[in-house]
Amino acid sequence: MKRLATAIWKGGPRAGEGTVSTASGVFNNVLFTASTADHDDFPCTCPSEMLAAAAGSCVALMVAKELATARIRPDHVRSDTELEIVEHANTWKILGLKVKVHVGVGEIDEIAFHKAIKRAKLGCAISNALKCPIAVEVEVETRAAAI
């Protein structure tokens, strides 16, 4: 399986801007800059934000996949992902990712659930490609039993 994205950058590294598009068409000339901090009045993204979104969505998908394999049917799987990046010696370094996963489920087999979460973390292709610490925290949101 191959995926294709095209990014075009115009201008200098700090004052310029770019667009990113994907072959699927879901991203079509999406504006990105070096950082979103200076652009609160003009919505755009940045590479580190797109990476956080990619990692979070991959973890959520893998959690759903592994729970299904364990015959656990969640109402939802939501991930909130924080990527920490710093500039050091004229380069950028990702210090780590924190992924908080919220899973809505009823009664579960705790052992099967935690094994599925561990497999999901190990199976995430985006996380595996990164060379930084990745913390995954899971919060179970239990649904009320039907009366």
What is the pTM for the complete model shown?
A: 0.86
Q: Which amino acid is at 69?
A: T
User: What are the pLDDT digits (tens) for 132-146?
Assistant: 899 999 999 876 544
User: What are the pLDDT digits (tens) for 73-119?
Assistant: 999 999 999 999 998 888 889 999 999 999 999 888 889 999 999 99
Q: Which amino acid is at 108?
A: I
Task: Name the token pair of 115.
Answer: 């094994």
- Closest C-alpha among 43, 147, 137 to residue 96: 137
Q: Where are the beta strands (DSSP E) in 28-125?
A: 30-32, 76-88, 91-105
Query: What angle do helix axes 110-123 and 47-69 make, rounded to 10 degrees?
Result: 140
